Amino acid sequence: MDKPSPPHVGKLSSPDVRKLSPPHVINIADLRRLAQRRLPKLVFDYLDGGAEAEVTLRENCLAFEDVTFRPRQAVVVRELNLRTKILAEELAFPGLLAPIGYSRMIHPEGELAAARAAGEFGTTFILSTISGHKLEKVKAVSSGPLWYQLYLVGGQAAAEAAIARIKAAGYTGLVITVDTAVAGMRERDPRNGMKQLLGGSLLTKLPYVSQVLSHPGWLFAHWRDGGMPKLENIVVPGKGPMPLIDVSAALADSAVEWKDFAWIRKAWTGPLIVKGVLTGDDARRSIDEGASAVVVSNHGGRQLDGVSATMRALPEVVAAVGKQAEVLMDGGIRRGADLVKALCLGARGVLIGRAYGYGLGAAGYPGVVRAMTILREDVERTMRLLGCSSIDQLDSSFVNVPGAWGNPRQEFTKHPAL
């Protein structure tokens, strides 16, 4: 049976599609500018912004500048292999699409567009609990592997129901995010009225209406889509899908503790991925709790401001994990060269978030495809210029790393919860 296509996917007019091609769009920054023009300010800033002074948000990107390449010259790469294996799944590209909450608010196609694009590029899409399309529908449009990022919004019963649904639908990985004890102070959101847009009364929305009215294309698309969607994958027993709420409210009662892994592992016996690890200690604790992989992540600089850039934290986590689990990295990817540098420092794969989010905000599915095309072409060009023919051959010999990065701690303190 043919898989149904997402609504409106690929139906941009020819002029709109041309706007996604050179010379209009040649890098991710160009897609960011398009998204900024199309989206109301409060929606764009939700996607673009970080916590507090946004120090970590900036450092996630700047850290890549501290790592320089050591190419093998006079080497012509005639056949290039970008394939890799992550948690026993063969991928054609080592860039996984990260979970982005409220994707359907960014564009009505939301998670459907991202999942379909990921499948077409032969990689994994990770669906957020805070999503507007049903997980079964997301599975139906994707030809690639799918993981589910579980937040405990709605309590244990709602989480267990979601786990049962992803098992039945054929999702192959469960991602537990551990860096959301509370929501970070994303200062752009309260200034712009994000809470009022998602959960306020008509009266409290009025001061922010002009932001929406000034972007009629976005407004019409969401009107045609039925308005603000419910959180279709958080089904509270006896109450149905949870209404759309702001991120602070969503995370207020859903913090994960290490003790929760006991019941999570009973409900889910497949690969478990722990996201939000920044130290060797937490990486090893994750493995003790049954993790098959850890994601070095600071939530894209959206939680605790002032923590390490993920690229800088990566060597310590890789050293701590060894061969006990796979290590992925998330944060700051804007070019294919960034992705290659992370692989050189030991990441098995890299999560891509804002880079495809800008494409989604700019044009829906075609925008996500354009973002992924840019990154894949960047990776291919970088690999050829490095003189490296296969992802599997990348290692630290291809990069120069600042001295402080090259000496990750080999001994790790006992975790305070142990």
Question: CB neighbours (10 Å) of residue 112?
Answer: 29
pLDDT of residue 4 exceeding 60, the answer is no
* Residue 44 contacts residue 352 (beta carbons within 8 Å): no
Distances (CA, A) of 166 to 193, 352, 417: 33, 22, 30
pLDDT at 358: 98
pLDDT of residue 3 exceeding 50, the answer is no
pLDDT of residue 245 exceeding 50, the answer is yes
pLDDT of residue 296 exceeding 60, the answer is yes
Q: Which CATH class is domain 14-67+86-378?
A: alpha beta
Percentage of the chain lying above the pLDDT 90 cut: 71
Mean pLDDT of the chain: 89
What does the alpha-carbon distance between residue 107 and residue 84 come to, in Å, rounded to a whole number? 30
pLDDT at 250: 63
* Residue 250 contacts residue 155 (beta carbons within 8 Å): no
pLDDT of residue 6 exceeding 50, the answer is no
Catalytic one among 107, 215, 299, 415? 299
pLDDT at 410: 43
Determine the average pLDDT of the residues in 241-262: 77
pLDDT at 406: 52
pTM (two decimals): 0.91
Instruction: Tell me the sheet residues that pair with 235.
Output: 241
- pLDDT digit string, tens, across residues 212-244: 888 888 888 877 887 767 788 888 777 777 776
Question: CB neighbours (10 Å) of residue 173?
Answer: 23
What does the alpha-carbon distance between residue 312 and residue 136 come to, in Å, rounded to a whole number? 37
* Domain residue spans of the chain: 14-67+86-378
Determine the average pLDDT of the residues in 388-392: 97
Active site residue 299: yes
DSSP annotation string for 55-120: HHHHHHHHGGGG-EE----S----S-B--EEETTEEESSSEEEPP-TTHHHH-TTHHHHHHHHHHH
Determine the average pLDDT of the residues in 66-83: 97
pLDDT at 412: 42
